[in-house]
Amino acid sequence: MRGLPTIDHVDQVSEDCVLAKMKRTPFPRAAKFRAQEELELVHGDLCGPIAPPTPAGNVYFLLLVDDMSRFMWLTLLRSKADAPAAIMTFQARVERETGKQLKVLRTDNGGEFTSVEFGEYCAGKCVQRHHSAPYSPQQNGVVERRNQTVVATARSILRARSMPGHFWGEAVHTAVYLLNRAPTAALDGMTPYQAWYGKAPPVHHLKVFGCVAYVKNTRPHLTKLADRGLKVVFIGYQDGAKAYRFYDPVAERVHVSRDATFDEGAR
């Protein structure tokens, strides 16, 4: 074109243009690596603070996801500083359960995950630490997406049953319990439970969160005419036991019981 100077250095970097037009490097549409066995890679993320606190004073939850099976574990926490201890407990539990060793733990750069003490613990246990780049949650997308799904599910079941916000801890636990037993596209329609345990999950015991239930009154020394049951609200599944969790709105306490009659249409 007439009148324009010839450009000799087409690859030359213009500082003014770079600073004025800087963009983020695009992220890949899908992860290039996928673990082939349990505990080869575990993703971790902390969510919170969440208001109002649970009755026990928890305002955070830690979500851990196994990359191969997509199975999830959730722990309620009072503070971020409790996260390393929760991961240590998780590691001891799943390594004993599977007979395999946790190889890689991937988290963000939160101080609770980058402390010297936690780094020394991981080094002593031969656990590699992978951290996502600052302000790049996409690099830990597996747990970030599951985190959003868990919160959205918990919010929906609380709203559907008109439950107070301080029951969010029970709701997120129930959401994880159900999602572990639901088919997922990441496993071509298989459930995380089946991928982790090698068998289809039982679902006959699942009940409607927030429904009315009646549980056996186990208080000692009941009079002859005292009711043998209590009217309560179903709030989830007891971890590590074949039992349900119920809330007694009169006594304002939680009951754990396997002796229950459910009225799933009532609330």
Q: For tokens 């002796």, what's the residue?
A: 259
Output the pLDDT for position 7: 63
Q: How far apart are CA 217 and CA 226, in angstroms?
A: 10
Average pLDDT over residues 9-30: 59
Domain range summary for the chain, segments of one domain joined by +: 42-197, 212-263
The answer to whether the CB of 172 falls within 8 A of the CB of 61 is yes
Considering the entire predicted model, what is its pTM?
0.85
State which of 6-20, 95-109, 213-227 shows the largest mean pLDDT.
95-109
Output the pLDDT for position 221: 79
- Mean pLDDT of all residues belonging to the chain: 88
Average pLDDT over residues 181-192: 94
Residue scoring higher pLDDT (11 or 248): 248
Query: Does the structure show a pLDDT above 80 at 8?
Result: no
Query: Does the structure show a pLDDT above 50 at 27?
Result: no
The architecture of the domain spanning 42-197 is 2-Layer Sandwich (3.30)
Output the pLDDT for position 13: 67
Average pLDDT over residues 64-85: 97
Output the pLDDT for position 217: 83
Output the pLDDT for position 240: 86
Query: Does the structure show a pLDDT above 50 at 18?
Result: yes
The answer to whether the CB of 265 falls within 8 A of the CB of 161 is no
Query: Does the structure show a pLDDT above 80 at 207?
Result: yes
**Number of residues that this document lists for the chain:** 267
In tens, the pLDDT along 228-246 reads: 889 999 999 999 889 999 9
In tens, the pLDDT along 84-125 reads: 999 999 999 999 999 999 999 999 888 889 999 999 999 999
Prior bond to 49 cis, omega within 30?
A: yes
Average pLDDT over residues 125-148: 81
Output the pLDDT for position 132: 82
Output the pLDDT for position 226: 74
Q: pLDDT > 90: what percent of the chain?
A: 71
